[in-house]
Amino acid sequence: MNKTRTRIHVPIGQEEKAEKLGAIYDGRMKSYVVPQHMPIILFQEFIPLPIELVPASNWENNVRSEFKEEWRDIRRVCYRKAGYRCEKCGGVGEDHPVECHEEWSYDDQKGIQKLERLIALCPLCHKSQHYGYAVISGLEQEVRKHILKQNRWKKEDLDKYLEEVFLVFEHRSRREWKLDLEALQDYR
């Protein structure tokens, strides 16, 4: 069991929201933390580099597959909006500066997978978002190291979080999802 308290990033003005979820301020760490008895995934919005696994039942349904002809232009708008820098760590890749990633929310009751926004990520942050793919591609250790650094976590924090993320993934992969792509209006 994780005996540490997992650090999260709570922006100014969001303290009350984090506290309502159960986060506490740790003066020694000078940060909000997740109490060890609580699931880390409940604080997903306060994790600097979260992992969001798209349900397996929807792997083939995404912005690229739905807008094949426009994908190139859509992702370029995303890159420009971010100033060609990673929106998570501020870095850039060696071969190309950034890649376009889709951030989703899920209505588990209605079965709707809603595009919240497109985000420019450096290749390493992008691989972190596709953790399962990183594992089968032999990049797990590199990605783990990056997640630990970006979130300022210990190995035990990441291990607990990954267990939770994969439980949600397995649950969501049991059903079909309808895509809501209204957020694309900002990129077309």
pLDDT digits (tens, 9 = 90+) for 107-134: 999 999 999 999 999 999 999 999 999 9
Beta bridge partners of 105: 114
pLDDT at position 92 is 96
pLDDT at position 2 is 43
Q: What average pLDDT does range 77-96 have in this prediction?
A: 96
Per the prediction, the chain carries an average pLDDT of 94
Q: What average pLDDT does range 48-63 have in this prediction?
A: 92
pLDDT digits (tens, 9 = 90+) for 22-54: 999 999 989 999 999 999 999 999 999 999 899
Strand order in the sheet with 178-180: 99-107, 112-121, 178-180
pLDDT at position 1 is 44
Q: pLDDT band at 4, cuts 50/70/90?
A: low
Percent of the chain with pLDDT over 90: 88
Q: Is the dihedral of CA 116, 121, 125, 130 positive or negative?
A: positive
Neighbours of 40 (CB within 10 A): 24
pLDDT digits (tens, 9 = 90+) for 158-170: 999 999 999 999 9
DSSP character at residue 62: S
Three-class SS state of 1: coil
- CA pair distance 3, 34, nearest whole angstrom: 11
Cα within 13 Å of Cα(171), Cβ side: 11
Q: pLDDT band at 187, cuts 50/70/90?
A: confident
Helix and strand element counts for the chain (H, E): 7, 6
Question: Of 56-65, 77-86, 143-152, which gets the smallest average pLDDT?
Answer: 56-65
Chain centroid to CA 135: 16
- CA pair distance 143, 95, nearest whole angstrom: 17
pLDDT at position 29 is 87
Three-class SS state of 187: helix
152 and 32 in contact (C-beta within 8 Å)?
A: no
Q: What average pLDDT does range 17-21 have in this prediction?
A: 97
Q: pLDDT band at 186, cuts 50/70/90?
A: confident
- CA pair distance 111, 130, nearest whole angstrom: 21
- CA pair distance 24, 6, nearest whole angstrom: 10
